[in-house]
Structure 1
Amino acid sequence: MSKKIAIIDEDQNICRFLSESLKLKGYQVEVFNSAEAAQETIDAGKFDLALADILLPGISGLELCRNLRNAEATATLPIILMTAFQKETRQINAAREEFGANDYLLKPFTLATLHERIDKLIGVPATRGPARQLHVEGDLAVTPLPALLHNLYTLQATGLLHLERGERRKIVYVKDGYPIFVRSNLIRECLGKMLVHDGLISQAQCDDSLQKVKESGRLQGTVLIEMGLLTPEQLHRFLSRQVTEKLLEAFGWTDGSFRFLQGKDFKSGVTSIELSPAMLILQGIRRYFSDTRTAELLAPHRHHYLVQTENPHYRFQDLELNRRDAEVLALCRGGFTLEELLAQFPLSHRELEQFLAGLLTAEILESREAPVVQAGEEDLAVLHQFADTRELRQRILADYARLLSLDHFALFEVTRDAGADEIRRKYFALAKKYHPDQFLQKHLSEDLTAKINELFRHIGEAYQVISNPKSRQDYLDQISGRKKERQQDVTDILQAETAFQKGMVFLRAKNYPEALEAFSWAVKLSPKEPEYLTSYAWAKFKAYPGDRERLGESMQALQHSLDLNNRLDRSHLYLGYLLKQEGREREAEKQFEMAIKCNPRCTEALRELRLINMRRTRPDGGGLLAKVFKK
């Protein structure tokens, strides 16, 4: 018989995700929304493991843990506690030592991490569950979209979120908890209709462009550029806004259904959502929530004290705040209730209710029954601003290599006998600097994004280790071995970047054989870095002109680079050149269009589109791009 797990969490939707994922692993699962509901059933000894949130209504997760330890039937039951509150370090230590918990998970965490922790405690299930992807369904009237997006962020989920309301359909592409792209069946949300609505083009011009799209098979945005109605920069800005608007519109749905399908491999458009989940939640509530819906979100918190969370993964989500918002957030230190805060801004009551509802939903704010005192952060480091994408990549790789090579004490620049307050200050500074949201709009490759996520997790894990006296001592006993484990990876990263920079020097000098040799070495050491692959492919093509076999290899490398990051304009541009060399003009044209979508200032792609258009139009210069390029 398969092993049975009890899940105890007030959030029914989180329970649904956890339950379904564990069933797919082969476990039996029973869900409880309070400790009181779970206590009697678990006491009967019918479970192999309990997974409980620390903060539960009524009896807390800690008290439940102690009760289970004191009962003969559950005295040795493996227990994992979950918490979103970084300030609960003392409680976490107590959970292990005083209350008897076997392990704990700090939210957000991935389902894979949960599975690993459970497998360590009770072993891998003898029989696996059904061979299918995680599939979770629900009602948007019960789990509104803001809460659903935050659930996905908490679980760092990747997959497709299907939203339906009547005849309306939307598909949200989610990557590591971040919505990145949306498709919609609403006609009013198509590019032309939205441009007409905003007054950027007329309905007649929209109809004319659609006719040209049918005739040529080209993208409407490119056709509008050729007609002189949009510049590439205008198109890029509008597409970014369009994909965000498609998601925000669904915040207005008071009912409907959702279905989440977990997955790893999917391709989204080049134009993506560039807002953090917290910012999407805040904008969605402000623009689409009625006063009644906002009041429902705030009802449980009205007379509670608001405090900024100590969990850096939630606290440092990227937000665009106006002056008043920043002032209100600064007041959320645990000394004022929600009602008291609102009373201080009587002329902005509605806007502040929406603001606080958004931050509470995203767990940037916590509500406490009693006042708390939270230390100031005047001494926290300010996030370093990077100049451009290439400098950013170099900085990330250098920081990644350097910080992972350090022991936990050197990481935070503290001595081995440093006090808790000093460690906490240094931890918050690093966590803020390397929070993944800080890099949202940088269009990083998957490899770099993974390094940022790994570095952020490493900072959190390091803090947990050295902030606990017992685990700090255990770490000191094994510190030298850990440094050796990471040394080779760090060396490879630095050598790969050095080889890439060397190759760029040769490429600029048009010494293609030497450039190819350097890029080959960079790709060998770091095969998932798209910019390395793109430069390698281009150098190979240039080093062996006329060699069809090498041409094919270069095209494969460029396609692989685009699979890793489809936002690199140079990858699309070079692939366009190679397709053009093959005589595949229509496919080349598509790549040049994509290069412009990635970078509206890609003059080489604009020039190629102009040349293609000139070959199709009259000799008198009356081509579709004439209006753009006569200027």
Structure 2
Amino acid sequence: MFPTPAQVLRQREGALAETPFPLLLHALAIEERTCTLELKVRQREKRITFEDGAPVACSSNLLHETLGKFLVEKGKLTEADYQKSLAESVQTDVPIGGLLVQKGLISPFDLYKQMQANMAMKLLDCFRWTDARFRLIADIDPPDTSVRMNTAQLILTGISTMMPFDEVATHFTFTDDRRFAQVPGVEGPRLSSKDARLFQALRFRPTFTELQQRSGLDTDSTLRRLYAFCLLGLTDFAEEVDKRPPLAPSAVAAAPMPMPGPALTPLPGTLETVDPSALVPAAATGLPFSDEDEGVKNALLSAFMSHRSQDPFDLLGVPEDVQPVALRKAFLALSDKFSPLRFQTADLKEKAEGLLVGYARAYGALSETEQAALWRKRRAAAREKKVGTGRPSTAEQFRIRTDLLDASTQYEEARKRLKAENYAGAFEYFEYACDIDPKPLYRAYRAWARYLMKPEAHGKLALQELLDVVKQEPGCEEAWYFTGEVSRGEAQWAQAEDAYRKAFKLNPKNRQYVDLIQDTMKRVKR
């Protein structure tokens, strides 16, 4: 049905139009690759770091995806605190997350959860980049933090909610008479109630049409989920499943089937739901021990987030001339402070285990004379480099950060061009804004500018785009108003009246809507 992971990764670079993003993710996970995946499309760029096949970091040149802007958008940080912290971060070269914790603007635990959600958003956005070029790079830059995504959950969520339907239909084809079946013994991601309903319907080995009927889902939802299940190896053509050797009873009993998960939170701009924490490796919950102690929990998360970026001396908090006894005491103290035995919640226990491994490696490195000497030389070289070249000026560092692509800047420029009746120029900049951040408002204005360029040619397309926006975001007043205007132009008076009424309901102070409603009512009666 799909090329093997080894075949997918044989090509070091290419186009996502030919090798879809979820196919790449799955291949990297199965092959357990440690590498960097670079994506580029027009002005946009992203770099995703993988360790043993799992995404652990993602950087992009989109301003709204930076951690600070993300925290502002989520209401976790004010714009004033963000700007002040950003300036201080640039001047001191301290990551903004660390500064926010130092200032008490966010707790380490909450920061870690927001970093998980921020990374999930950046990765899910990649499913839209169907016209991007990709490149696999063997080397990786060790990530500063330790956020790790669940690849299977990421693939299921991304295909179900973000990937354009046309791309799904292009890369997943079969004849109407083909039957599908569950593949026994394959562990899958956590499923929503909708996903679980479809998965259970596969027990009856249905055709696609029968699967729709049994699950009660529409064509779009069914095809998306079936594509994800097949890619993850949970489902295959029935005849292919029959060819597989039967599993031993013990293996079948040991292999957990995908289970329904808890209710998920809405993803802005979509009809679907996404739980960013579901993209983090799942773990069972347990009775807390130190888990309910906010101080201990925050200290653990703070240490865990920073331990990757520290050398052995900084990690253990010892001087370069540390003696064996003091080194051993520092190691034992830290190992006891964050011992995995102190935590019963699996997520916190996992992080404590990760810290313990880091401390053990640092202790092992400094216990060996040659290794300790090598780390001293590295630190000395870093100090000389800093003194010799100097840190980049504040202006230079700000220039790097202000080069980030900002959707709101493109949107404001587009509005200016729209006001000047430069409809082609406005459409171009609304397109840029949608490329960077496909907010419903930006998409509504893009459709409106498209219509104004050539009403006679673009009416149907613009109207369909607007109907998609109001379906996904019923609270977008501008989208309803534009829908009414384009519907009038297409002589669909009843639809125009309904759209104006929806806009008026959202903003009763705008009396223009009353006049428009009355006018369209007269035309409907005619």
Structure 1 length-normalised TM? 0.41
TM-score by length of 2: 0.48
Between structures 1 and 2, the one with greater strand share: 1
